[in-house]
Structure 1
Amino acid sequence: MENSTQESHLRSENSATYDSPFPLYAMAFSSTPPTPNHHRRVALGSFIEDYNNRVDVVSFDEETLTLKPNPSLSFDHPYPPTKLMFHPNPAASLRRASATDLLASSGDFLRLYEVRDSSIEPLSVLNNSKTSEFCAPLTSFDWNEVEPRRIGTSSIDTTCTIWDVERGVVETQLIAHDKEVHDIAWGEAGVFASVSADGSVRIFDLRDKEHSTIIYESPQPDTPLLRLAWNKQDLRYMATILMDSNKVVILDIRSPTMPVAELERHRGSVNAIAWAPLSCRHICSGGDDAQALIWELPTVAGPNGIDPMSMYSAGSEINQLQWSAAQPEWIAIAFSNKMQLLKV
């Protein structure tokens, strides 16, 4: 991307586009290193307001900038997946062959799949409902990088559930908020945070399950917070977005209640945020204005706010974005039925 506040037009050699038959929402980059025969994998979830949905795992060839579907790595998914994530640390999972990858999805339940070279096998369906037939929908989840046996899920029933996915059991369930929990993010091994329709960001420590710390509340009471991103390079910082707001709110957990920065250059609601995997000062946001903005956070914000360092215009509203941890120069954005990879 051009390093200027003027709108930067990506040249064709710096992007790759995948056209899906369906509207897209959930996306995930695989962390498994590519082998001579296999390229990087990206999982894409359809967003059809119906029971029948799809997940496609496509391969990305960085040399030719092509994205290719593999029909044998495509499977039906009940309801649109609210999130997809590959195992964050493939080397830590000893019980699998090196050619396989683990993929998780959230929706009606938390589901795990084994992605092989030419097939995908369902591994487990994790349901914590006491009445086995029905389960409150899961809004999101996060896979713990430090302890990959742990996945935390967030639900509309006000709870967060911590799963031991290797044993397939619930480690703990916490009533986290007064209203639906919209997102969850791990910080350290036993510390996670969540955001809710009650307008609060809360931090939990599994060593003290009775208490949580509120580090931010919406300026207007009960404005829902939709997404949360914890800065993995500097755990003091996290970012959140409010419903129907053009702001990205940057928080420092050492100074609760007051944001350290508010990024307000979008001309429509912000829908997705992602920190740079290898930099503690860069964050990307995408929104209804069809813009993906990359920001560099200054050490001290000036009186007139912060301008993005680069911009990219998509074809329509950006619903989702992911910044690849394994290939930090690539950002994926989803809009309409397209997934675009942008080189930054």
Structure 2
Amino acid sequence: TYSPPPHPPLLLPPPYPPPIPFALSPLVMTDSAEIHTFSTPWPTSCLDWCRSGGNPFRLGVSSFVRDYTNQFAVYEHNANTGAFSTVGVADHPYPVSRLRFSPDPTSPLIASTGDYLRLWSCPLSSPSGINLTAKLNNNKSSEFCAPLTSFDWNEAAPELIGVASVDTTCTIWDINAGVAKTQLIAHDREVYDIAFARGSDVFASVGADGSVRMFDLRALEHSTIIYEQPDVPLVRIVWNKLDPNYLAAVPYNASKAIILDVRVPSSPVTELTGHAGPLNGAVWAPHSSAHIATAGEDSQVLIWDLSNLPKPIDEAALAYDATSPVNSLTWSASQTDWVGICFDDKVQLLRV
């Protein structure tokens, strides 16, 4: 069983092997009041929960296959049959490094990164599959592109997407106009992740140089380093949208998440150390400023209560053991008592 590494996979070098044909087998699902489980045709990598209120159990999940040809699919739960069905499947060059639905609950858009930023349409009311609507590339002078490691969708201004790249840059795209608003050298080395704060202007990034850097679109000539540990790359950053003083960063190959307070730079306010293996992701609760979920190579999903900060957090409030290392997790914004995870070729929805 293969589990993706805790940092976004880089693109495969040429020569490319021939594409592997994918066949969607019938979804195999186990069901209970607290857990929904279904299988996909391939090892899973990225997972996201749709913001639409139309179907509260609509999710996107991508493959991780060591080939040029990968896929992602959208599934949704059928309340009448109790089963999950396939809404649509799209071929995707290279493994997807991040997959996100638009934060606008009325929008049919899905975004993905890998070699380029791609926008897809998957209609909410009358599903007609997944269709590519745009491929955005800010390097017009070369046929080659630097791998894109991650992106974040601005919730306050859904026309803005921030993209991180191994070429040390962050690019802010206006997807309505199809143009890059700005591209800046954000780090000294590869940038692994980017996250917007609440509001439309402030974002943070992390990378191989071990720093967390904060930027403001209104004053890009300056940035603030709010945390730095040069010998330890940081591979994930997530911003607490309900209390934007707090961020969580995930170091490479580390079994902990670092909680940072932007008002007290340089030193973590606490570290979440309950995992027995490297973390692959973290997500803040969409309805509570004091809760965050983490998941990783130890097959555990832990939910932490941070309401007593700045006191140390010794243990998680809730724990769930999957059967394999967890590659990705997502917390439903419309059904806030549900968390989604993916591992091996499975997706599980957990009632918390």
Same fold (TM over 0.5): yes
Change (3 A) 1:200 1:15: same
- Equivalent residue number for residue 64 of structure 2: 47
Query: Could you report, residue by residue, the CA deviation over 1:216-265 in whole angstroms, capped at 9, with x for unpaired residues?
Result: 112xx331001011001100001011111111100110000111110111
Shift of residue 145, structure 1, vs aligned partner = 0.6
Tell me the equivalent position of 2:77: 60
Q: Does 1:194 align with 2:205?
A: yes
1:62–1:290 distance in 2 versus 1, CA, 3 Å = farther
Query: Which residue of 1 is the match for residue 157 of structure 2?
Result: 147
Q: Is the 1:237–1:250 Cα contact (8 Å) retained in structure 2?
A: yes
Equivalence for 1:341: 349
Q: Match of 1:274, SS?
A: strand
TM-score of the aligned structures, taking structure 2 as reference length: 0.87
Matched-pair contact (CA < 8 Å) for 1:13–1:65: no
CA contact (8 A) 2:71 2:90 kept: yes
Which SS does the other structure have where 1:208 is aligned?
coil
Name the structure 1 match of 2:105: 90
C-alpha distance in 2, partners of 1:122/1:68?
21
Matched, 1:31 2:51: yes
* Closer, same or farther: CA 158–63 of 1 in aligned 2, 3 Å: farther
Equivalences, count: 318
How far did residue 62 of structure 1 move? Answer: 6.0
SS where residue 49 of structure 1 aligns? coil
CA distance in 2, matches of 1:62, 1:276: 25
Cα pair 1:17 1:67 within 8 Å, conserved: no
Equivalent-residue separation in structure 2 for 1:32 and 1:321 (angstroms): 18
Change (3 A) 1:264 1:104: same
TM-score (norm 1): 0.89
State the alpha-carbon separation in 2 of the partners of residues 327 and 159 from structure 1.
35
2:308 aligned partner: 299
Matched, 1:311 2:319: yes
Aligned mate of 1:178, from 188, 194, 200: 188
Give the superposition deviation at 1:64.
6.4
Instruction: State the alpha-carbon separation in 2 of the partners of residues 13 and 133 from structure 1.
Output: 51
Q: Output the aligned Cα RMSD.
A: 1.6
CA distance in 1, matches of 2:305, 2:168: 34
CA distance in 1, matches of 2:34, 2:81: 11
Q: Among residues 91, 108, 129, which one is paired with 2:139 in the alignment?
A: 129
Find the residue that maps to 2:220 and give its secondary structure.
Answer: strand
Q: Are 1:205 and 2:220 an aligned pair? A: no
Which residue does 1:165 correspond to in 2? 175
Q: Over residues 80-127 of structure 1, what are the superposed CA-to-partner deviations in whole Å (9 max), with x where a residue is unaligned?
A: 111111110134x5xxxxxxx111101100000111312222110000
Confirm whether residue 325 of structure 1 aligns to residue 307 of structure 2: no
Mapped contact 2:283–2:329 kept (Cα < 8 A): yes
Identity %: 48
- CA offset digits 1:259-298 (Å, max 9, x no partner): 1110111011111100000100000000111000000013
Task: Look up the equivalent residue of 2:249 and give its one-letter code.
Answer: T
Displacement of 1:39: 5.9
Gapped regions of structure 1 (runs ≥ 5): 1-10, 94-100
Question: Would the aligned equivalents of 2:56 and 2:335 in 1 still touch at CA under 8 Å?
Answer: no
Runs of 4+ deviating beyond 3 Å: 61-66, 300-303
- The one-letter amino acid paired with 1:143 is W
- Secondary structure, in 3 states, of the residue corresponding to 2:221? strand
Displacement of 1:302: 4.6
What amino acid sits opposite 1:239 in the alignment? A
Task: Confirm or deny: 8 A CA contact 1:268 1:289 kept in the other structure.
Answer: yes
